[in-house]
Chain A
Amino acid sequence: MIVAAGWYMALAAALFLIGALGLLLRRNALVMFMCIELMLNAVNLTLVSAGRALNDLNGQVAVFFVLVVAAAEVVVGLAIIVAVFRRRATASVDELSELRG
């Protein structure tokens, strides 16, 4: 069975939307962070399927860079979330509301 590249891109768009909505609607920092990862993976799927459809290697190579960036974000992001959790014993962004004006 051959699936046209358009379907992969549509799936990627759906994943990206799920990630974006999740980030906007969920209140747990870890879940929000997972949503960002989901968005980045949707980007990867788009790049791979576009690269395949265009018969162009650039899209496939770009995926490696996005993966590396995602990994670097995990390192920093988890450290920040752990630092917040240690001080406040909560990872809910609703309870992070000391900054306002």
Chain B
Amino acid sequence: MIEITTPEVSWIAILPELVLALGAVGVLLVEVQWKPATRVLGAISAITLVIAIFFTFLQWAQAGDALEVGGLDELVAFSGMIVMDGFAVFGRFVLLVMAGLGLLAGWRLVERLNRRGAEAIALVLLATTGFSIMVASNNLVMMFLGLEIGSISLYILAGLTEEKTKADEAAMKYFLLGSFASAIFIYGVALLYAGTGQLEILAIRQFFTEFIVTRPAVILIGLALIIVGLGFKVSAAPFHSWAPDVYQGAPSGVVGYMAAMAKIAGFLAMARILLTAVPQLDDSWLPVIAGISALSMLVGSTIALVQSDVRRLLAYSGVAHAGFILTGIVGGATTGMLFYVTVYAIQLIGAFAVVAVVSGPSSSGSSIDEYRGLARRSPALGAAFAVLLLGMAGLPLTSGFVAKFGVFSEAWANGYGWLVIVALLASVISFAFYLRVIVAMYMDETEEEGIVVSLAARWVLTIAVAGTVLAGILPAPLIDLAADAFSL
């Protein structure tokens, strides 16, 4: 008789993703079977997210224990597919929290979608699953799968409205350019594989410490394509052309979530590949990343100056932020980058929650005229938006300032003084367009009546504003957490 030994599976490494996927399926099945009130589906998704977040705490504890006894191998699970280091767990935790905030911010859209609301909830959970796998993957093909699970869900979310709006155009543009970026990314992976014979990130690092590559052309082209592919996903210039159109056209209830998720996962994946897999090649990629970073900051902040639509303005400011975050990767450490990505994601979701309240959750486009006199129509909403915008601009005592200071000082220490000077210049320019919106909200008169802010939106805005201010005044706990979350 043949004995089959079942391999030991370290389930805890993917428990958050398992819970999320089950939750997504559960939401769809419950909807089909019982057609419950939307509130019930919301409760299911909330429970799912809470359980998944609970498991990230368990993972964090286990990753810390393994580090203490030096058992780094224990952190790699599923034959090297998944890695459970602090970096992955931190990224997952942030993604899960943003998913919760994103669902709250888009709740009015879910309610309006009526029976199709379940699809929106399930897609949010599935996108979170994908991006969460992406930040935790140790294998480039696994990373690609996570990227695609997340991205394909976002393509659908971008077109999911109950009204006939311009969302279909946004979905189409997002789909075509997003798939293009994915194809470029996976071709880069294939070339890296052809050059090194490895798909695992840790094995690739091993390869470069053991061998000196005499003809690195294929490897470098592969790496360049990976950078381009991920650059598209995080909307860094010159690969940002899709972002303004998609942010403007997609239903405002989900834009913040979409943008935040793609950026968090994209930057974390980029940092993992560049800093963990190929740190030996940094002579080649550091100048490229620094160039993309400088270009993004300048292009983003100057084009944002002339935007008349708040969403396009936020999209171009996102391009500038992509540049700022990339200075963190140029700095060679992940602490500042993790902090920046976290606080920026909160600000982004909060800002688009305001857009969703002002322009309606399924609208396309929100001209700056809609914001004139907003502070008089709803003082709390205006104040919240002002705080979030100032946080994005990086005013001292907001999280944006601490975040910028962190990444800039890392880049400075790594010998990229010119990049920091460009970044400071771009930060100054960016104040101009954020202030333009704030001035429109506070200085202009309006005849329009007050705005009713839904309970869900109030929660999101409270959390986002509190996070922005708290992380600005007391950043130490979050910075310590990010510093512990280094990649294997």
Contact = CB atoms under 8 A, between A and B. Distances in A.
A56 B197 contact: yes
Interface in A61-90: 62, 65-66, 69, 72-73, 76-77, 80-81, 83-84, 87
Contact of B155 (A23, A58, A62, A76): A76
Interface in B135-190: 141, 144-145, 148, 152, 155-156, 159, 164, 166, 168-173, 175-176, 179-180, 182-184, 186-187, 190
Given A62-B141, A99-B169, A73 B148 contact: yes
Interface of B: 141, 144-145, 148, 152, 155-156, 159, 164, 166, 168-173, 175-176, 179-180, 182-184, 186-187, 190-191, 193-194, 197, 199, 244-245, 248-249, 307-309, 312, 364-365
- Majority secondary structure, A binding face: helix
B407 to A, nearest CB: 28
Interface residues of A, number: 42
18 contacts: A36-B179, A43-B183, A43-B190, A47-B190, A49-B194, A58-B193, A65-B144, A66-B144, A66-B186, A69-B182, A72-B148, A72-B152, A73-B182, A83-B159, A83-B168, A98-B166, A99-B244, A99-B364
A81 B179 CA distance: 14
B199 A62 contact: yes
Interface of A: 9, 16, 19-20, 23, 29, 32-33, 36, 39-40, 42-43, 46-47, 49-51, 53-54, 56, 58-59, 62, 65-66, 69, 72-73, 76-77, 80-81, 83-84, 87, 93, 96, 98-101
B172 A93 contact: yes
B80 to A, nearest CB: 10
Contact of A39 (B183, B245, B249): B183
Contact of B183 (A9, A29, A40, A49): A40
Nearest to A47: B190
B199 to A, nearest CB: 5
- 4 A-B pairs with least C-beta separation: A50-B194, A39-B183, A46-B190, A99-B245
Contacts of A53: 194
Given A76-B175, A84-B169, A100-B245, A47 B180 contact: no
Contacts of B175: 76-77, 80
Contacts of A32: 176
Nearest to B222: A46
B394 to A, nearest CB: 24
A56 B437 CA distance: 57
Contacts of A54: 194, 197
A99 B187 contact: no
Contacts of B144: 65-66, 69
- Majority secondary structure, B binding face: helix
Contacts of B186: 40, 43, 66
A65 B145 contact: yes
A81 B182 CA distance: 18
A8 B159 CA distance: 39
Nearest to B303: A101
Contacts of B172: 29, 80-81, 84, 93, 96
A99 B170 contact: yes
B193 A47 contact: yes
Contacts of A43: 183, 186-187, 190
A16 to B, nearest CB: 6
A49 B194 CA distance: 9
A51 B193 CA distance: 8
A80 B166 contact: no
Given A73-B148, A99-B245, A100-B245, A80 B168 contact: yes
Most chain B C-beta atoms within 10 Å of own C-beta, residue among A23, A39, A47, A80:
A80
A59 B192 CA distance: 11
Contacts of A16: 187
B164 A87 contact: yes
Given A33-B179, A50-B190, 15 more contacts: A19-B183, A32-B176, A39-B184, A47-B190, A47-B193, A50-B197, A56-B197, A59-B190, A59-B193, A66-B141, A80-B155, A99-B169, A99-B170, A101-B244, A101-B312
A41 to B, nearest CB: 10
